[in-house]
A and B are shown apart, each in its own frame.
Chain A
């Protein structure tokens, strides 16, 4: 199963993004961003397993997509993806 992480600028940004996606029927979890993916230190991200294209599009249209997007499969480590 492929996991996607949308990096957020802050916890509040993650929460607001999560609410927006929730209204569109896209389920996400707020998780601490892995240190290796976050150049500024501690941060939060949205984790989701489906609906990534719709999620990115919705966040972008609402000017709320602020960070990079990563994907991970059971056999691979996180790698950045461009959507």
Chain B
């Protein structure tokens, strides 16, 4: 199998992740629910994962690392904490439905800024023109469809200057790009554990720099007489038993990223993406990529005369895994002019080899030539 869908979930993980999950399943119980070793062991691995994440993302206190079930869960907490009915919310033209659906559910007045693919300057100008009347800015760090790196540090600075809260969706950047939450200055940063951080599915992280409203209410193993959720983090946002096995795996994944370095992972994946581009650039296909420094290793394509679903199906028959369609990001496709066609998306991984990418490219060319 050649797996080119790491932007959805990294299927290929470090062996340490699998070992950590199995160990947790065998040895750990519910953290914060007892004083016995299986409970304290679970608590220990959960805390160590908080520490590892805090270190990787330059967060001062591990208590500000909140575990969620995925990035969508984290984004829902963040958005529900900051958005009121009718709030004017600036978003980029490349947001995922995990941002726009919660905003629509809250009847927010959504203003799209920066609908220009790979045009950083126009994106910034657009945010600047609209920020004064904004109640909130939500921006993805990297487009999940086109790999476009948005200027979130500059947008964060703009938000601070105008006292506008800021939420960053780091779903595609966490584990791939260096992320300094202190410099970003965002109120909330949301990310999945199962993509670039190499953890299992069912894991996510919400980094909190502002007061959050719980989305789930229930037991936290502490202050049990009180009928209110605790005021302090992370317990305030972590009702119910944690996904301990997942978090144990996530810890191993984060350690892998920390040991290898985001920069090294990024360079490897970009090299693979560039090989794919070189192989396909003279074929009957439109490739979406930037030659500037605002490109992450996610490659979208539209093939002449072949529907994206058809291409993905045929590749699937060859045991080559890609993602086709709208990728839950209709705004991004509208911005890039691909809403009617969708795209075939290829994304890469530290465990993918050059030979595998060359083989996938040859198979794609074969499908194009036979069409």
Q: Which residues from chain A sit less than 8 Å from chain B, CB to CB?
A: 9-13, 15-16, 19, 30-32, 39-44
Contacts and interface: CB of A to CB of B under 8 A. Distances in A.
23 contacts: A9-B222, A9-B230, A10-B235, A11-B31, A11-B32, A11-B235, A12-B47, A12-B235, A13-B63, A15-B43, A15-B44, A15-B47, A16-B47, A16-B61, A16-B62, A30-B40, A32-B34, A32-B35, A40-B223, A40-B225, A41-B223, A41-B225, A44-B32
Q: State the main secondary structure of chain A at its contact with B.
A: mixed
Contacts of B40: 30
Q: State the main secondary structure of chain B at its contact with A.
A: loop
Nearest to A44: B222
Contacts of B44: 15
Contacts of A39: 225
B240 to A, nearest CB: 14
A43 B232 CA distance: 13
Contact of A12 (B35, B225, B234): B234
A43 B223 contact: yes
Nearest to B31: A11
Contacts of A16: 47, 61-63
A15 to B, nearest CB: 4
Contact of A40 (B51, B62, B63, B226): B226
Given A15-B47, A30-B40, A32-B35, A10 B222 contact: yes
A11 B61 contact: no
A19 B48 CA distance: 10
| Contact-residue size bin, chain B (C-beta under 8 Å from the other chain) | 20 to 34
B50 interface: yes
Contacts of A43: 222-223
B182 interface: no
B107 interface: no
B43 A30 contact: yes
- Report which residue of A13, A39, A42 has the largest number of chain B beta carbons within 10 angstroms of its beta carbon: A42
Nearest to B34: A32
A9 B232 contact: yes
A42 B44 CA distance: 18
B50 A41 contact: no
Nearest to B238: A12
B224 A42 contact: yes
B237 to A, nearest CB: 12
Nearest to B61: A16
A43 B33 CA distance: 9
Contact of A10 (B34, B35, B50, B230): B230
A69 B35 CA distance: 19
A10 B229 CA distance: 12
A18 to B, nearest CB: 9
A41 B222 CA distance: 7
A4 B27 CA distance: 29
Nearest to A18: B47
B221 interface: yes
A16 B226 CA distance: 23
Nearest to B225: A41
Interface in B219-256: 220-226, 230, 232-235
Contacts of A30: 35, 40, 43
B63 A31 contact: no
Contacts of A42: 221-224
Given A10-B220, A12-B50, 4 more contacts: A13-B232, A16-B62, A39-B225, A42-B223
